[in-house]
């Protein structure tokens, strides 16, 4: 069995290989951060500092990029990212009520991750499914016309 520190070192070694492979391409930082987030699940300060040292750029620059783009996260995310559409059509057709039903079912608020680490709930501006409003997306699966707590519970159970 691999010990936690060894697994930790393996992740950093994997990231080091990615940086070595990509650091001489034009504007590699976003891609390196994306892969780092895939490797670690999120981008804690330690990972940002590691990237900064390996690329010989200020850690403050890495931090600025990570905090600018909402795709990046500095806190652990759940196995499933649950994106709730809050675009105009979804908002008018009940997105606030949908968010409340999801919050009640999952026991979290927007931007939080469930204690079991399965779900992180985030808001997005549009998922391009206005005719199904209100809508939320888990992975590649889109769920629309959600109007009851029973529907929400049924959908969430599929992923547990």
Domain of 124 in residue numbering reads as: 80-157
Same structural domain for residues 36 and 93? no
The model scores a pTM over 0.75: no
DSSP H/E element including 80: strand 80-85
Measured between alpha carbons, how far is 36 from 62 in angstroms, rounded to an integer?
12
- Asked if residue 73 belongs to a domain, the reply is no
Task: Supply 105's token pair.
Answer: 């079912």
Name the CA dihedral angle for 19, 21, 25, 31, rounded to a multiple of 10 degrees: -50
- Within-domain flag for 37: yes
Work out the mean pLDDT of the chain and round it to a whole number: 92
- 93-130 burial, b at 16+ Cβ within 10 Å, e below that, comes to bbbeebbebbbebbebeeebbbeeeebbbbbbeebebb
32 shares its domain with 54: yes
Same domain, 88 and 49: no
Q: Is the pLDDT of residue 139 over 90?
A: no
Note whether 86 and 140 are same-domain residues: yes
Instruction: Please tell me the predicted confidence (pLDDT) of residue 3.
Output: 46
pLDDT digits 0-9 by tens, 101-131: 999 999 999 999 999 999 999 999 999 999 9
Burial class (CB in 10 A: 0-12, 13-18, 19+), 34: middle
* Token pair in block for residue 58: 């200020």
Mean pLDDT of 29-56: 95
Cα atoms in the 13 Å half-sphere on the side-chain side of 99? 20
Look at the chain and report how many structural domains it folds into.
2
**Residue 1, pLDDT score:** 44
**Residue 152 confidence class, pLDDT cut points 50, 70, 90:** very high
Same domain, yes or no: 64 and 90: no
**Is 74 domain-assigned?**
no
- 53 and 119 part of one domain: no
SS3 117: coil
Shared domain check, 100 and 60: no
Q: Which residue has the tokens 């997105």?
A: 95
Whether 87 and 148 share a structural domain:
yes
Compute the chain's Rg from CA coordinates: 19
Kindly state the percentage of the chain with pLDDT values over 70.
96
């Amino acid at each position: 069995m691999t010990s936690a520190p060894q697994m930790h070192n393996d992740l950093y070694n994997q990231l080091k290989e990615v940086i070595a492979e990509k650091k001489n391409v034009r504007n590699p930082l976003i891609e390196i951060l994306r892969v780092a987030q895939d490797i670690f699940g999120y981008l804690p300060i330690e990972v940002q500092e590691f990237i900064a040292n390996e690329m010989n750029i200020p850690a403050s620059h890495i931090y600025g990029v990570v905090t600018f783009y909402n795709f990046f996260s500095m806190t652990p995310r759940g196995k499933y990212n649950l994106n709730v559409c809050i675009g105009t059509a979804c908002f008018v057709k009940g997105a606030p009520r949908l968010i409340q039903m999801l919050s009640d079912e999952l026991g979290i608020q927007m931007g939080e991750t469930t204690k079991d680490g399965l779900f992180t709930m985030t808001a997005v501006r549009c998922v391009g499914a206005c005719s199904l409003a209100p809508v939320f997306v888990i992975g590649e699966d889109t769920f629309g016309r959600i109007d009851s707590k029973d529907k929400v519970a049924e959908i969430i159970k599929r992923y547990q």
